[in-house]
């Protein structure tokens, strides 16, 4: 069966934004970008008050407050994705991205023995565009999935974005159930009849057989920054500038701080960023996958434990000084994939990280592009498809900087879940799609 032809062949989605919008993996911050917005934001006032009362704060605390403080956090009350926002992501650029990810999940579901039910869990679903594209593939391949009981589980801290996700995904005629006090703060039904639930924390998602997806999620989790000094590692902190009372600046902690425990003993870099929260999420995913099966697909910009200073800000598709006008700009740091792999602690097998261009090519993006181009003669749509492909695949754009990592149960690679060929004594597991050749060829 040609999944790529079947998956949404009749649907070409409406125009999506392409140029000249900025994707977050693009630049590295020197920390010296000109301050463009000097206004004293409510978040700046809150941070100054906090620092005055308890002393300088870690970069991780700064990032957490600025991004997800329930009242004033950057992510909580705004739509930052797309041309009107601050940055753009792959699913917002091209429908092909989500379609190929949808095929990846189906491929894994088949390879693991077509469980009678699965949960699809997305961490940080943005506008819900990626899930929308994945669900379209599930509908197109409905005959395959018809006896499978699917449910959607969205882990999202932002009230505003969860409302946008509901608009993108759910059936208007079925009212959403809301309960701000409950760990499941919203429930609905998708346009194709799949139950969908919203949570603020992965811990609250039922521990059932699941496929997990995290696209540009780990890069917003708070990082601690450290600098090597003659006295050992010292943590970078955020303090009030003594020269200008409503301005923040970086300082070094005078002595060792607890997060130093996250630095490897044999570390050779002189600046490092560590993200304990990412470790907690990976441990939880690994634990779940090792107990119940399923898989996780993680895609982000990042490195394999080699980069030093990647903490940066974005506002209105431009690089933004991380300490200026906090709460008005996105903050992010490259994901350390070597740390994520380490934190899976051998409970699951990990594949990758591999570059986005390799993953999408292995998933058949060239065939998919051709199918979509053959379906339309509209010049602007053809142009948009080609530009989107270029943006996702070009090594100078998102092709090299973005990476894919998969976590699968050990038995998935050793075959004990997979059907045994009657004539063979050993099972023959299929390769994991995207990380090798296309599995169904």
Cβ proximity to ligand SAH, 296 vs 439, nearer residue: 296
Q: Is 213 strand, coil or helix? A: strand
Cβ proximity to ligand SAH, 109 vs 218, nearer residue: 218
- Of 393-432, which residues contact ligand SAH (CB under 6 A)? none
Q: How far is the CB of 29 from ligand SAH (least distance, A)?
A: 18
DSSP category for residue 81: B
Beta-carbon contacts of residue 129 (< 8 Å; ≥ 6 apart): 91, 92, 98, 168
187's enclosing H/E stretch is strand 184-189
Structure tokens given for 108: 């894994």
Cβ proximity to ligand SAH, 202 vs 251, nearer residue: 202
In contact, 118 and 109? CB cutoff 8 Å: yes
21 part of the interface to ligand SAH, by CB under 6 A:
no
What gap in Å lies between CA 118 and CA 104, rounded to an integer?
Answer: 14
What gap in Å lies between CA 86 and CA 312, rounded to an integer?
Answer: 13
Among 99, 108, 133, 216, indicate the residue that binds ligand SAH (CB under 6 A).
Answer: 216
- Residue showing the smallest CB distance to ligand SAH in the complex: 124
Of 12-20, 181-189, 210-218, 247-255, the segment contacting ligand SAH by CB under 6 A is 210-218
Structure tokens given for 32: 């010296």
Of 187-195, 214-222, 225-233, 283-291, the segment contacting ligand SAH by CB under 6 A is 214-222
Q: Which string of DSSP letters, residue by residue, matches 4-66?
A: HHHTTTT--PPP--BTBPPBTTS----S-PPP------HHHHHHHHHHHHH--EEHHHHHHHH
Cβ proximity to ligand SAH, 89 vs 119, nearer residue: 89
Cis peptide before 353 (omega within 30 of 0): yes
Cβ proximity to ligand SAH, 75 vs 337, nearer residue: 75
Q: How far is the CB of 361 from ligand SAH (least distance, A)?
A: 20
Among 16, 136, 215, 341, indicate the residue that binds ligand SAH (CB under 6 A).
Answer: 215
Q: How far is the CB of 300 from ligand SAH (least distance, A)?
A: 9
- Of 118-157, which residues contact ligand SAH (CB under 6 A)? 124-126, 130, 155-157
- Of 47-106, which residues contact ligand SAH (CB under 6 A)? 68, 75, 81, 89, 91-92
Q: How far is the CB of 285 from ligand SAH (least distance, A)?
A: 13
What gap in Å lies between CA 122 and CA 129, rounded to an integer?
Answer: 12
Q: How far is the CB of 220 from ligand SAH (least distance, A)?
A: 5
- Of 218-237, which residues contact ligand SAH (CB under 6 A)? 220
Q: How far is the CB of 42 from ligand SAH (least distance, A)?
A: 19
In contact, 311 and 322? CB cutoff 8 Å: yes
CA dist 152 to 22, 99, 198, 212, 263, Å? 29, 16, 9, 10, 36
| Binding residues for ligand SAH (CB under 6 A) | 68, 75, 81, 89, 91-92, 124-126, 130, 155-158, 161, 215-217, 220
């Amino acid at each position: 069966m040609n999944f790529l032809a079947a998956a949404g062949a009749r649907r070409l989605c409406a125009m999506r934004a392409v140029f000249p919008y900025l994707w977050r993996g693009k630049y590295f911050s020197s920390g010296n970008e000109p301050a463009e917005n000097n206004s004293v934001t409510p978040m700046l006032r809150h941070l100054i008050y906090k620092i005055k009362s308890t002393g300088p704060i870690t970069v991780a605390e700064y990032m957490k407050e600025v991004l997800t403080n329930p009242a004033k956090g950057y992510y909580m009350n705004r739509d930052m994705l797309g041309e009107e926002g601050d940055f753009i992501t792959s699913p917002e650029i091209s429908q092909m991205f989500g379609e190929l990810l949808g095929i990846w999940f189906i491929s894994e579901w088949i390879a693991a023995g077509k469980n009678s039910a699965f949960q699809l869990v997305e961490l940080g679903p943005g506008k819900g565009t990626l899930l929308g594209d994945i669900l379209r593939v599930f509908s197109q391949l409905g005959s395959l999935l018809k006896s499978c009981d699917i449910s959607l589980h969205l882990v999202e801290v932002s009230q505003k974005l969860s409302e946008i996700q509901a608009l993108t995904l759910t059936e208007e005629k079925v009212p959403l159930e809301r309960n701000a006090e409950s760990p499941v703060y919203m429930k609905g039904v998708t346009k194709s009849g799949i139950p969908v639930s919203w949570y603020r924390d992965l811990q609250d998602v039922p521990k059932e057989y699941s496929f997990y997806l995290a696209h540009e999620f780990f890069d917003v989790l708070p990082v601690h920054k450290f600098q090597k000094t003659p006295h050992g590692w010292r943590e970078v902190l955020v303090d009030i500038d003594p020269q200008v009372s409503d301005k923040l600046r970086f300082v070094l902690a005078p002595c060792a701080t607890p997060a130093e425990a996250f630095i490897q003993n044999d570390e050779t870099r002189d600046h490092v960023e560590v993200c304990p929260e990412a470790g907690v999420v990976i441990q939880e995913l690994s634990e779940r996958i090792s107990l119940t099966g399923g898989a996780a697909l993680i895609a982000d910009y990042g490195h394999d434990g080699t980069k030093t200073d990647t903490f940066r800000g974005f506002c209105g598709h431009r690089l933004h000084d991380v300490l200026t006008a906090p709460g008005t700009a996105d903050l992010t740091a490259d994901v350390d994939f070597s740390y994520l792999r380490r934190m899976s602690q051998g409970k699951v097998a990990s594949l990758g990280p591999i570059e986005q261009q390799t993953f999408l090519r292995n998933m058949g993006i060239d065939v998919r592009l051709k199918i979509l181009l053959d379906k339309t003669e509209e010049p602007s749509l053809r142009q948009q498809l080609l530009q989107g492909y270029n943006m996702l695949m070009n090594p100078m754009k998102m092709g090299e900087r973005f990476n894919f990592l998969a976590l699968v149960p050990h038995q998935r690679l050793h075959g004990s879940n997979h059907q045994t060929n009657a004539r063979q004594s050993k099972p023959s597991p299929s390769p994991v799609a995207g990380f090798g050749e296309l599995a169904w060829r």
